[in-house]
Amino acid sequence: MQVGEVSSGGSSHRGAGASGTVSEDRRVTVFSANGRLYQVEYAWNATRLAGVTSVGVRGADSVCVVGQRRASEPKDKLLDMTSVSRLFPITERLGLLATGIVGEGRALAHEARNQTAEFRFKWGYEMPPDVLAQWIADRAQIWTQYGSKRPSGVVAMILGIDDEKETPQLFTCDPAGYFFGHKAASAGQRDREAVNFLEKKMKNNPSLSFQETVEMAISALQFALKEDLKVTEIEVGAVRTDDPTFRVLTEAEIDEHLKANNPGKAELKATQFLSY
């Protein structure tokens, strides 16, 4: 293997050479010969290591995100799953779904809360969703410029209502410092499968109601995972234009949307129950 050549697993990056230089894949501030920052790419891999997938969908009058409620150590049978969450309220009107390393997502949410509080104190109104997304992206980008830091292993989805336009907003922020607005988005282990599903469903820019928005997000996650979801396995956050308060749906509300997505299965269970 020639100097600078990289294997698929990343284990064959060039190490310290004769001059004693440090390998470019071990320092976030050093570009490789082909212009890549390997530590940023490794951070992307870290967002998938948790084994969870998240989906966000923006409707006509609402925006919704759905994430898997899964522990970092799935073999822990004594864990109270209600304590496991990657969905964080930032302000009364803004929510954040962190996909990736749980601790880093929680730390990001804490910093975002402080930032939005300072913004409100300084300017007298709530931070808009796009401003929060830009701040998170700037934070991530700055961390790629210092050897004393490393990129964050989290993809953040920001949801809220733009008060000036009175429209729902959905943004994603990644470890490289990019942030984009989306009609629909996915992150995590099976994001590609979910995106393929959403691209087909959102091709003609459908005007989705709140119920359709939630059910579209759940359907995309079910399609990506290739399995039916249970109420205890997902968490759903949403914001509506007629009530711009960010809220996490209850298990009863999630169950209603799951039944709407799988009406045949719900009827089968009801029939089996009545037959006993």
| Burial class, 199, CB count within 10 angstroms (exposed 0-12 / middle 13-18 / buried 19+) | exposed
Q: Copy the structure tokens of residue 39.
A: 């530590």
Average pLDDT over residues 87-110: 96
Q: Give the separation between CA 205 and CA 215, rounded to whole angstroms.
A: 16
Helices (H), 157-209: 191-201
Helices (H), the chain: 38-49, 102-123, 129-142, 191-201, 210-225, 251-261, 263-275
Instruction: Read off the pLDDT band of 197 (50, 70, 90).
Output: very high
pLDDT value at 140 more than 70: yes
CB 214 within 8 A of CB 236: yes
pLDDT at 72: 63
The phi, psi pair for 61, rounded to 5°, reads -130, 15
Instruction: Tell me if residue 235 falls in helix, strand or coil.
Output: strand
Q: Copy the structure tokens of residue 231.
A: 């109420």
Domains and CATH numbers, the chain: 38-71+82-261 (3.60.20.10)
pLDDT at 13: 42
Instruction: Read off the pLDDT band of 218 (50, 70, 90).
Output: very high
Q: Which of 276, 262, 222 is nearest to 68 (CA)?
A: 222
CB 47 within 8 A of CB 100: yes
Average pLDDT over residues 199-204: 92
pLDDT at 171: 98
Instruction: Tell me if residue 102 falls in helix, strand or coil.
Output: helix
pLDDT value at 222 more than 60: yes
